[in-house]
Structure 1
Amino acid sequence: MHRNPVVLSALTGAVVMIDDFEIAGPRWHAFAQAAARSGLGACRVFPLRLTERPLGALAVFTTDPWNSRPRDNAFGQSLADLAAIALWMSDVDVRSGAATIAAQHILASRTTIEQAGGVIAELDQVDIDSAMQALAARAQDRGVTVAQYSEHVVEDLGFR
């Protein structure tokens, strides 16, 4: 059983409500006592969910009992939903950045391979298709990738 309402909400996706830390039930007794000693009066914990999958929780604390003045639970859940979207979007940015870096690496490798193919075609006096086949065969013979072999060819024309 969880003794922390934030952990419970984060794991289960449930809204947890403690209306008054001074009269909290036994489940939240230790948590409520610690919060009250810190000058807090109540809390609502709203789950951060993405397609019904819990991602975390947003805790809203008050210094007075929750129902001592009008408070909108829908607003708290809206903030939690926005936080979940922001977390998901930051993950998209990371994935997008990784994909961009991978694409740039592939393009750079492809450029180097084409340059190496051109070097071989020119120096061996063969057509580009034959040069690319030779490039692939030589890389395989040496146990390296075509991109790795191409880097050596471009750096040292005598390497081929």
Structure 2
Amino acid sequence: MTAREELIADAFVQLADTLVAEFDVLDFLHVLVERAVELLDADAGGIMLADQRGGLEVMAASSHEVRLLELFELQNEEGPCLDAFRTGVAVSRPDPEAMRSAWPAFTARIEAAGFASAEAVPMRLRDEVIGALNVFRVAPGALGAADAKLARALADIGTIGLLQERSMRARDRLAEQLQGALNSRVLIEQAKGVLAERSGLEVGQAFTALRDHARRHGMPLAAVADAVVHGRLRLGR
């Protein structure tokens, strides 16, 4: 087995292991994004999921800057994640010219962030599309055939994880988990800001500190964020 094959196997084992213990949706999604960027020929990535009203929300990103880029995509209603979600098929724009023809406003923001290509794969099971996995590349050019298949496989295992049935029907469980995750997302953003202000950490480093503490102590990420926001927990460098 090559080193790359070992990395791929480890990634799928890690994502499958997430389903065994108490299922933390946000941590699962951030692991998925991190592994996608690590394994694919990509420099950044993000995930959007549908909320209970059928709209999309940014749920995970490889960096704070990419999260802002994804929010811009939603606000301007154009970009790869939106197209993949709406059509249910993979979307690829391999260079700035192709991106500008599809997403003029979003492309200007992509280029300002230093990226030259973008693509997204839907997170879907049969006819149900629950979101999209998005990747950006600094260099122009589409993902190769092998990476495109791997991106679809990662999106598939993410979808299966989210739709995993526990003690109730999968759809009801998913709606409950996603709504809870949306509420937790706001709290986590607040905690990142509080921690960054108190400790002098960058926003991205603040999120890492929150998640590392949650994992070390076996706590939900939202619980750590709540403790930081309300002054019950202080984290530093």
**TM-score, normalized by length of structure 1?**
0.51
**Partner of residue 58, structure 1:** 133
Q: Does 1:38 align with 2:107?
A: no
Distance 1:68 1:44 in 2: 8
**Partner of residue 19, structure 1:** 94
1:81-100 maps to which residues of 2 (within 5 A)? 81-89=156-164, 92-93=165-166, 95=168
Could you tell me which amino acid in structure 1 is paired with residue 96 of structure 2? Answer: F
The runs of at least 4 aligned residues of structure 1 exceeding 4 Å deviation read: 67-71
Residues 67-113 of structure 1: CA distance to partner in whole angstroms, max 9, x if unpaired?
49786211111111111111111xx22627x9xxxxxxxxxxxxxxx
Contact 1:22/1:41, CA 8 A, preserved across alignment: no
Distance 1:39 1:22 in 2: 15
Q: Does 1:8 align with 2:83?
A: yes
Q: Which has the larger radius of gyration?
A: 1
Distance 2:100 2:130 in 1: 27
Higher normalized contact order (CA 8 Å, seq sep 6+, divided by chain length):
2
> Would you say how many aligned residue pairs link Structure 1 and Structure 2?
95
Contact 2:123/2:129, CA 8 A, preserved across alignment: yes
Structure 1 segments unaligned to the other structure (5+ residues):
99-160
Percent identity among equivalent residues? 27
Q: Which has the higher helix share?
A: 1
Of 22, 28, 31 in structure 1, the residue corresponding to residue 103 of structure 2 is: 28
Contact 2:93/2:142, CA 8 A, preserved across alignment: no
Structure 2 segments unaligned to the other structure (5+ residues):
1-76, 173-237
Shift of 1:14: 1.6
Shift of 1:66: 2.4
